[in-house]
Amino acid sequence: MNGARGNPETVEIFLELAPEDIVFIKLIVEAHEGLGVLRTLDRKRAVIVVMTAADMESDVRAMLASLRDQVSWTEIPPTGAALS
């Protein structure tokens, strides 16, 4: 799923996960400097968005996939990420 919305050069990957895992994912994304930026959209529902350059999307998706053994997450469509 290509999450490009506003800027065609930026891809947004929306995820839902356990609230206690947000900090872990954020630290991993930040540790891979230049790979992407993470924003928490809804702390209670634990919805986050990872924003990355379009040409880095496959690297970000590979990084997220590598975390599946440690963190359970589900990619959701941007409409599912809307704040309620």
pLDDT band at 50 (very low <50, low <70, confident <90, very high): very high
- C-beta of residue 47 within 8 angstroms of C-beta of residue 81: yes
Q: Which token pair is 25?
A: 């994912």
Instruction: Indicate the pTM of the whole model.
Output: 0.83
Interval 2-48: pLDDT, tens: 454 556 799 999 999 999 999 999 999 999 988 999 999 999 999 99
Tell me the one-letter amino acid at 55: D
Q: How many helices (H) and strands (E) does the chain have?
A: 2, 4
Please count the other Cβ atoms lying within 10 Å of the Cβ belonging to residue 63. Answer: 19
User: Could you give the domains of the chain?
Assistant: 10-77 (3.30.70)
Measure Cα distances from 74 to 17, 31, 48 in Å: 6, 21, 10
